[in-house]
Amino acid sequence: MQKSNKSIAGYHLLMILSSVDGEFAPEEGMKIQEYLAEEFPFKVNLDNELHVIALLQPEEWKDHFEFHARCFHEDSTEKERLDFIQFAKSLIKADEEVTDREHQFYKLLKNMWGLS
């Protein structure tokens, strides 16, 4: 898999976080739109990225998530990671229910970035 830049990696992380509970809630979609507006103030086509994510089988999510967590880490400052982890937390809470699977992936991200 080709290394992603921080913004693209963040998109993959958020999309997986919003999908691991088996449901993509409208509130989560709004949070992802918020991220995209911040990270991509210009028009960007993420169709290829979405296609890659859509083709993933649930058993592939963890490896894909870990790969993009490493990509994000390599291209970010500690403050950017702290800000992102707070945003990720708001994403998984957006539908007012945090499943065990969402929490598991959120904790995985924090652990990988040494933010536990």
- Domain-located, residue 89: yes
- Domain-located, residue 99: yes
- Domain-located, residue 1: no
Dist CA 80 CA 78 (whole Å): 5
- Domain-located, residue 67: yes
Q: In this predicted model, what pLDDT tens digit does every residue of 55-71 receive, in sequence order?
A: 999 999 999 999 999 99
Under 8 Å between Cβ of 95 and 22: no
Domain region containing 95: 6-112
Under 8 Å between Cβ of 94 and 28: yes
Dist CA 94 CA 32 (whole Å): 10
At residue 116, does pLDDT exceed 90?
no
- Total domains in the chain come to 1
- Domain-located, residue 44: yes
pLDDT value at residue 15: 96
- Domain-located, residue 56: yes
Dist CA 104 CA 110 (whole Å): 10
pLDDT value at residue 105: 97
Under 8 Å between Cβ of 56 and 65: no
